[in-house]
Amino acid sequence: MYVNGVTLKNRGIPDSHRLSVYESTGGYQALRKIFSEQVTPEQVIAEMKTSALRGRGGAGFPTGLKWSFMPKGVSGTKYLLCNADEGEPGTCKDRDIMRYEPHRLIEGMIIGAYAMGARAGYIFIRGEFIEPIRRVEAALEEAYAAGFLGERILGQDFSFDLYVYRGAGAYICGEETALMEALEGKKGQPRFKPPFPASYGLYGRPTTINNVETFASVPDIIVHGGQWFLELGKANNGGTKIFSVTGHVQRPGNYEVPMGTPFPELLEMAGGLRPGRSLKAVIPGGTSTAMLAGDTMMDCTMDYDSIAKAGSALGAGSVIVIDDSVCIVRVVERIARFYMHESCGQCTPCREGMGWLWRVMHRIENGQGRAQDIELLLNVGSRIEGRTICALADGGVAPVVSSIKLFREEYEHHIRHGQCLVGQRRAA
């Protein structure tokens, strides 16, 4: 089993966040290779396409294709952004890349800037990530001092400046256009698309934005080739991916495994379930993805296509494992509160609907559910889904609808008896 082989390669090495350690393990060789072998921006993008690297922030959009959307030959500044807002409940992978491999991220961004002709970049880091922010800032200083950033990088006719921006604690700022609004100093709320960032992004300029893990995958793709990366995973799902396994496992943590790894193997890596417990459900990609039944999950492999086929999404790879000790109603009530709190408020269905969903969930969880409440939840959900600017609302509806589909009897028990089915079983 190939574990932690690409973006968290150096995690176990002391001082892996320092430039010297990174360089001693082959760091910045990709960048040097581009300059020494005179790799053109087009070749870089072609290599990215070959690698089948898909966006690691959650949407899984092919990175090479995204990079090819950046207009060429336009005058003025183009921007490259890194989404390090990592707000999806259950996700903690970008944090570890920034803590242990900040230079891998920076090198990936420099290569991206080279490929797309970006002059300036920002790393938008979740404000609570104090240690990762310090590490990335220190790494930027090292990179500037070593000539990897700034004017005429490594003496070439290529300049790129990179800055860190601290987020102020809104989940929605992980949405790419909301992130741009926030970077511009405005209230973080998503923009309507089109226009897409590639034509109208930060400050109205062509902009590309990728996740931390996506950028961190880039150096190895350049060094070893897109084909190598593709073959690490499976067709259309190239490379390795970090899964943040949390919940009821004995060794929660970040596991970087090849795309297509069977879920049971990942579960085993994470120490398996607690003794005597059975797998009830899994949220495979963070709380905004639909819940899957434990049995369904055991038949899945960890890649975009397999999870999508099972009716959910791989998302950012935040696998939340739920065993049979858990009341699903309670879990979903908590998730619904999160989405109510994090809705930016601009679109009517999300602003009004998220609170409505939570209030009904709250009622059911507290033994005051009404007979029609399940239908009401499904009905309200159906009027929110797909009717807003961004996907936050869809993400807020998914756990409610999917959990009703899977565990309807728990909801019914709550409503009928005013108490929890799981708790009773536990007591029995």
Partner 1 sequence: MPHIEIDGRELDVAAGTTILEAARQLGIYIPVFCYHPKLSIAANCRMCLVDVEKQWKPLPACATPCADGMKIQTRSAKAKAAQQGVLEFLLINHPLDCPVCDQGGECPLQDITMGYANPHSFYQEEKRVVADKDIGPLIATEMTRCIQCTRCVRFGQEIAGVMELGVVGRGEKEAISTYVSKAVSSELSGNMIDLCPVGALTSKPFRYKARSWELKHTPSLCPHCSTGCNTDVQSLGKDVLRVLPRANESVNEEWICDKGRFAYAGLSAEDRGLTPLLRVNGRLQAASWGEALQAAAGGLESVVRKHGPEAIAALISPESSNEELFLFQALFRALGVTHIEHRLRQTDFRADAAMPLYPALNMSLEDLERERTILLCHAFPREQQPLTNHRLRKAALAGATIYAIDTVLRPFNFPVQGLCPETGDDLGTYRRLEELLQGATARAEEGALARLATALRETEDPLLLIGNDALQHPQAAELLRAIQGVATAAGARLGWLANAGNAAGAWLLGCVPHRRPGGETVPGQRTPSWSTAHKAFVLYGVEPEYDSLAVEAAQQALQEAEFVLALGHFTGNLPEQVQVFLPLASWAESAGSFINNEGRLQSYRAAVKPAGEARPGWKVLRVLADHLGVAGLAFNDLDEVQSAWQGALGDFPLDVPAFAAFPELAPEAAAPLPEGHLRLLGDWTIYTADPLVRRAAPLRRPAVCRMHPQDLQARGLGSVIELRRAGRPVVTLPVQADASVPRGCLWLPLGTAESVALGGLQSSCTVGRASSRQAI
**Residue from 380, 383, 344, 367 nearest 417 by CA:** 367
User: Looking at 150, 345, 418, 423, which residue binds partner 1 (CB under 8 A)?
Assistant: 345
User: Looking at 159, 278, 366, 372, which residue binds partner 1 (CB under 8 A)?
Assistant: 372
Task: Report strand pairing: 279-283 vs 318-323.
Answer: antiparallel
Contact region for partner 1 (CB under 8 A) — 12-20, 64-72, 148-156, 355-363? Answer: 355-363
Binding mask 215-254 for partner 1 (x = CB under 8 A): ----------------------------------------
Q: How far is CA 51 from CA 58, 235, 304, 359, in A?
A: 18, 9, 15, 45
Q: How far is the CB of 410 from partner 1 (least distance, A)?
A: 22
Name the E strands within 295-395. 301-302, 318-323
- Which residue, 150 or 195, is less far from partner 1 as judged by CB? 195
- For residues 8 and 376, give the distance between their C-alpha atoms in angstroms, rounded to a whole number: 45
Q: Which SS3 state, helix, strand or coil, does residue 120 take?
A: strand
Contact region for partner 1 (CB under 8 A) — 257-265, 303-311, 347-355, 404-412? Answer: 347-355
- For residues 280 and 407, give the distance between their C-alpha atoms in angstroms, rounded to a whole number: 10
Number of Cβ atoms within 10 Å of the Cβ of 250? 10
Query: Which residue(s) pair with 321 in the sheet?
Result: 247, 282
The answer to whether the beta carbons of residues 90 and 244 sit under 8 Å apart is: yes
User: Looking at 353, 369, 395, 399, which residue binds partner 1 (CB under 8 A)?
Assistant: 353
Q: How far is the CB of 191 from partner 1 (least distance, A)?
A: 9
Binding to partner 1 (CB under 8 A) within 387-426 occurs at 387-389
Binding mask 173-202 for partner 1 (x = CB under 8 A): --------------x-x--x-x--------
**Residue from 58, 63, 164, 61 nearest 112 by CA:** 63
- Which residue, 233 or 349, is less far from partner 1 as judged by CB? 349
Alpha helix (H) residue ranges in 12-170: 19-24, 29-36, 41-51, 63-68, 93-100, 102-116, 130-145
Contact region for partner 1 (CB under 8 A) — 48-56, 135-143, 313-321, 334-342? Answer: 334-342
- Which residue, 5 or 355, is less far from partner 1 as judged by CB? 355
Helix axes 212-224, 102-116, angle to 10 degrees: 80
Number of Cβ atoms within 10 Å of the Cβ of 146? 15
How many chain residues interact with partner 1 (CB under 8 A)?
34
User: Looking at 174, 349, 369, 399, which residue binds partner 1 (CB under 8 A)?
Assistant: 349
Q: How far is the CB of 116 from partner 1 (least distance, A)?
A: 25
Contacts of 221 (CB under 8 A, 6+ apart): 30, 47, 48, 51, 53, 228, 229, 239
- Which residue, 147 or 386, is less far from partner 1 as judged by CB? 386
User: Looking at 347, 361, 397, 404, which residue binds partner 1 (CB under 8 A)?
Assistant: 347
Q: Does the footprint of partner 1 cover residue 354 (CB under 8 A)?
A: yes
- For residues 32 and 115, give the distance between their C-alpha atoms in angstroms, rounded to a whole number: 14
Q: Does the footprint of partner 1 cover residue 62 (CB under 8 A)?
A: no
Contact region for partner 1 (CB under 8 A) — 130-138, 233-241, 324-332, 343-351? Answer: 343-351
Q: How far is the CB of 309 from partner 1 (least distance, A)?
A: 18
Q: Does the footprint of partner 1 cover residue 88 (CB under 8 A)?
A: no
Q: Which SS3 state, helix, strand or coil, does residue 313 take?
A: coil
Q: Does the footprint of partner 1 cover residue 203 (CB under 8 A)?
A: no
First to last CA, the chain: 42
Cα–Cα–Cα angle for 30, 31, 36, nearest 5°? 95
Binding to partner 1 (CB under 8 A) within 124-143 occurs at none
Binding to partner 1 (CB under 8 A) within 287-326 occurs at none
Q: How far is the CB of 349 from partner 1 (least distance, A)?
A: 5
Q: How far is the CB of 3 from partner 1 (least distance, A)?
A: 38
Q: Does the footprint of partner 1 cover residue 342 (CB under 8 A)?
A: yes
- Which residues contribute to the site for partner 1 (CB under 8 A)? 170, 172, 187, 189, 192, 194, 340-349, 351-356, 359-360, 372, 376, 379-380, 383-384, 386-389
